[in-house]
């Protein structure tokens, strides 16, 4: 009887320990999920246009997916909306003043916070008013860069301004003809920015205080319109961006210039907008439509201190739509109004679709292409070839269809100038 009792007792303790372990794992996974949801930034978690969603619609009704809500109150601008902690954040310009807006997931306006003078331009650039960049949200803090070069850190919950810096006044930055366009890159401790000054060309700021961590003269080159990336290597982390004339990499720890590659055909105002993509030792870039040297694949040295060219395709250029690396292909829209797939091994075009030009993102084995004429296209794959599935027209909004779409929790967010729309796609 005593042995039976101890067997039952041991069995109880085993089951209790197993239950405790299961609870611990569930809480750990929940913590990881919660942590991943606290970072929202330009073109997704890795700045590569990939949205890690599942269970999305494989096709849309003829009229498009269900419209959950819309607003036409966000002012002029080209920045994508960001979703964090059940709120949607977006920036816009109204009567030359920039505002940070937040909405709940049903489209109710929660806050409208002014952050200073915003870009209205002059001459030709006056036709493109408003911020160019998207906000970055990192662990409860919102980081914003106006097209005039004002960097502001807000508390995401209260909207309180925590600190601010002026890239022109504080760092000798050079305001370009179309203003500053980079969506700020933020890591655990630092906010990186590109004022473009002769001495403080690229700057790292403490993300909690705005204090300078380091400044780098880099190449003392003017800014382009590119949002940078961080490449994490065993030996060092690299800050990689595009200046007016060069693709370059700095040591993210201290701002030391590691290497640069001249884009010798960039001629006008740093017209280079596409964020580079890094994957498994290789760096991919695509230059602007009228300038630059096209698409390229570069091999990064294991220590990050040098790069070498693998291939270059001078015929592949894209204005502002970004590009994707999915499996063994790059996907990008080009000047001849085609969506093209490039083999990453050779750089050759292996597939294309006609009458599609604009921004492109990826989720749940589908390409989402928001074109310059306002069509939202859903593109799938048949026998590894692209196949147009569905499309609908974005009717609301103002000016160009240039803001990149965003997908979060089964909702497709589309910004068209003063209008922001949320569509149910799961």
Q: Decide: 332 and 340 in contact? Cβ < 8 Å.
A: yes
Given CA atoms 292, 297, 298, 300 in this order, what sign does their dihedral have? positive
Q: What does the alpha-carbon distance between residue 276 and residue 348 come to, in Å, rounded to a whole number? A: 19
Report the pLDDT averaged over residues 301-321.
Answer: 95
Report the pLDDT averaged over residues 398-412.
Answer: 97
Q: Is the per-residue pLDDT at 24 higher than 70?
A: no
Is 5 in the same domain as 86? Answer: no
pTM over 0.85: yes
Report the pLDDT averaged over residues 206-211.
Answer: 98
Q: Is the per-residue pLDDT at 91 higher than 50?
A: yes
Q: What does the alpha-carbon distance between residue 46 and residue 25 come to, in Å, rounded to a whole number? A: 25
Residue whose C-alpha is closest to residue 285's, from 242, 255, 245: 242
Is 31 in the same domain as 42? Answer: no
Q: Is the per-residue pLDDT at 19 higher than 80?
A: no
Any idea what the CATH number is for the domain that residue 213 is in? 2.130.10.10
Is 58 in the same domain as 166? Answer: yes
Residue 228 phi, psi (nearest 5) = -80, 175
Is 171 in the same domain as 30? Answer: no
What pLDDT sits at residue 270? 53
Q: Is the per-residue pLDDT at 26 higher than 60?
A: no
Report the pLDDT averaged over residues 130-153.
Answer: 98
Is 22 in the same domain as 70? Answer: no
Is 32 in the same domain as 74? Answer: no
Question: Which structural domain range is residue 98 located in?
Answer: 37-424
Is 28 in the same domain as 82? Answer: no
The model's pLDDT over 335-364, given as tens digits with 9 standing for 90+, comes to: 899 999 999 999 999 999 999 999 999 999
Report the pLDDT averaged over residues 73-84.
Answer: 98
What pLDDT sits at residue 269? 54
Is 401 in the same domain as 296? Answer: yes
The model's pLDDT over 44-66, given as tens digits with 9 standing for 90+, comes to: 999 999 999 999 999 999 999 99
Strands (DSSP E) contained in 344-384 are: 349-354, 358-363, 366-371, 375-382
Average pLDDT, the chain: 90
The model's pLDDT over 128-140, given as tens digits with 9 standing for 90+, comes to: 999 999 999 999 9
Is 21 in the same domain as 59? Answer: no
Is 81 in the same domain as 21? Answer: no
Is 236 in the same domain as 303? Answer: yes
Q: How many domains does the chain have?
A: 2
Is 25 in the same domain as 62? Answer: no
Q: Decide: 405 and 370 in contact? Cβ < 8 Å.
A: yes
């Amino acid at each position: 009887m005593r042995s039976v009792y101890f067997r039952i007792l041991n069995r109880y303790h085993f089951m209790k320990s197993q239950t405790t372990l299961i609870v611990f794992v569930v809480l750990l996974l929940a913590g990881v999920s919660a942590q991943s949801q606290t970072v929202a930034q330009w073109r997704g978690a890795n700045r590569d246009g990939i949205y890690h969603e599942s269970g999305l619609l494989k096709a849309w009704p003829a009229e498009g997916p269900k419209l959950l809500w819309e607003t036409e109150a966000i002012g002029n601008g080209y920045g994508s909306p960001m979703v964090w902690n059940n709120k949607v954040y977006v920036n816009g310009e109204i009567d030359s003043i920039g505002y940070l807006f937040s909405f709940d997931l049903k489209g109710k306006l929660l806050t409208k916070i002014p952050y200073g003078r915003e870009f209205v331009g002059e001459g030709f650039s006056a036709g493109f008013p408003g911020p160019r960049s998207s906000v970055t949200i990192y662990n409860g803090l919102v980081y914003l860069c106006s097209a005039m070069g004002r960097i502001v850190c807000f508390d995401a919950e209260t909207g309180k301004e925590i600190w601010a810096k002026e890239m022109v006044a504080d760092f000798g930055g050079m305001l370009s003809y179309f203003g500053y366009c980079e969506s700020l890159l933020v890591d655990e401790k630092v906010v990186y920015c590109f004022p473009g000054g002769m001495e403080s060309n690229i700057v790292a700021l403490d993300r909690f205080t705005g204090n300078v961590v380091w400044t780098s003269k880099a190449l003392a080159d003017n800014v382009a319109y590119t949002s940078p990336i961080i490449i994490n290597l065993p030996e060092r982390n690299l800050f990689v961006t595009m200046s007016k004339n060069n693709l370059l990499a700095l040591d993210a720890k201290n701002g030391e210039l590691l290497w640069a590659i001249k884009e010798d055909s960039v001629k006008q105002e740093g017209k280079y907008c596409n964020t580079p993509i890094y994957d498994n030792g290789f760096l991919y870039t695509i230059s602007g439509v009228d300038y630059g040297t096209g698409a390229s694949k570069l091999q990064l040295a294991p220590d990050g201190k040098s790069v070498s060219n693998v291939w270059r395709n001078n015929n592949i250029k894209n204005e502002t739509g970004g590009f994707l690396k999915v499996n063994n292909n790059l996907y990008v829209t080009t000047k001849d109004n085609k969506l093209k797939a490039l083999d990453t091994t050779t750089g050759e075009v292996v597939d294309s679709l006609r009458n599609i030009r604009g921004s492109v993102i990826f989720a749940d084995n589908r390409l989402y292409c928001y074109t310059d004429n306002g069509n939202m296209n859903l593109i799938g794959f048949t026998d590894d070839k692209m196949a147009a599935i569905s499309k609908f027209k974005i009717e609301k909004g103002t000016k160009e269809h240039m803001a990149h779409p965003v997908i979060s929790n089964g909702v497709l967010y589309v910004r068209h100038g003063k209008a922001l729309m949320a569509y149910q796609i799961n």
